[in-house]
Amino acid sequence: MAWWALCKRISYKNWKPFDMIGWYRQKLYEDWYNSLPEEYRAYLEEKERIESERRKEAINMAFKFVESQPMLREAWHETLEYLTK
């Protein structure tokens, strides 16, 4: 716990040559994932694929809505121009 608190304190000071907390979380997740039975891994992959498709559909619907509204479309294109300068 003290190691975790030290890493958090260091990361809050914007001294990040290496994100140790992110690395440790990834390692814990990989250890957990590797300990799962094959059937549950397949279930999780399918669940992740479905959620990804839902997110893509929601984003596409939002873009279609913005493009269908003249005032929003204008504001969107102005924002894109500003961001790409």
pLDDT in tens, 48-67: 999 999 999 999 998 888 88
Cα–Cα dist 22/57, whole Å: 29
Mean pLDDT of the chain: 83
Does residue 68 belong to any structural domain of this protein?
yes
Per-residue model confidence (pLDDT) at position 81: 80
Domain count, the chain: 1
Amino acid at 51: E
Amino acid at 15: W
Helix axes 38-68, 70-84, angle to 10 degrees: 110
Does residue 45 belong to any structural domain of this protein?
yes
Cα–Cα dist 69/81, whole Å: 18
Q: What's the pLDDT band for 80 if we cut at 50, 70, 90?
A: confident
Does residue 76 belong to any structural domain of this protein?
yes
Range of the domain at 73: 19-84
pTM: predicted TM-score of the whole model, two decimal places: 0.54
Cα–Cα dist 63/53, whole Å: 15
Does residue 10 belong to any structural domain of this protein?
no
Per-residue model confidence (pLDDT) at position 14: 57
- Whether the per-residue pLDDT at 74 is higher than 70: the answer is yes
